[in-house]
Amino acid sequence: MSIKNKNIIVGISGSIAAYKSAELIRLLVKEKAMVIPVMTKNAAEFVTPLTIQTLSKNKVYVDMFANNFDWEVEHITIAKKSDLFLIVPATANVIAKIASGIADDALTTLVLSVKCPVVICPAMNSEMYKNPLTQKNISYLKKLGYYFIGPEKGELACGDENIGRMSEPVKIISEISKIL
């Protein structure tokens, strides 16, 4: 199925791999998807909301308590019209929050609000990924019906060659097309 005319939330968390989310958004928009970007404050340390806004051609949600909002409860409105929620990159922290039902920022609050498929693309150091707590959280979320793409083995930010590298944007788009 095509991603054309699909409403796709792209959640970006604070990982060095956040730079890949910019390319992913560019490719989604090129395929005529409507991208609704949501960033954690930590993600904004790696890639700016202005970059993401420019590429998505849409408002970026970072702060749940911003005073430049519409009258509606935005996270509920966004949740209702979404076809897919893609978290790219997903840190161990964000995965743990989702698995625990913690909703303390715009991204995790929105995850609890959606009824559409949620696709998580992990990116982290291999030791964090292999940690039994992270593996438990991933296993639990898979049992609940969350989808995972990656991570892959390759060169990590620390220079190691190991598992933890976020999948490439082209592969992610191919996989989400199958899910949709």
Q: Domain holding 44: CATH number?
A: 3.40.50.1950
pLDDT over 70 at 117, yes or no: yes
Q: What is the mean pLDDT of residues 123-152?
A: 96
Residue 2 lies in a domain: no
The CA–CA distances, whole Å, from 125 to 15, 54, 63, 171, 177 equal: 10, 29, 27, 20, 27
Q: 175 and 149 in contact (C-beta within 8 Å)?
A: yes
Residue 48 lies in a domain: yes
N-term to C-term CA, the chain: 6
- Given this model, what pLDDT does residue 168 score? 95
Residue 1 lies in a domain: no
* Confidence label for 161 from pLDDT (cuts 50, 70 and 90): confident
The whole domain housing 169 covers: 7-179
Could you tell me which of 155, 168, 97, 96 has the C-alpha nearest to residue 128?
A: 96
What gap in Å lies between CA 160 and CA 153, rounded to an integer? 10
Residue 38 lies in a domain: yes
Count of domains for the chain:
1
Residue 50 lies in a domain: yes
| Torsion of Cα atoms, 92 then 15 then 105 then 174, to 10° | -80
Residue 56 lies in a domain: yes
Residue 82 lies in a domain: yes
Q: What is the mean pLDDT of residues 149-170?
A: 89
Residue of 158, 161, 170, 174 marked catalytic:
158
- Higher pLDDT pick, 79 / 104: 104
Residue 24 lies in a domain: yes
Active site residue 158: yes
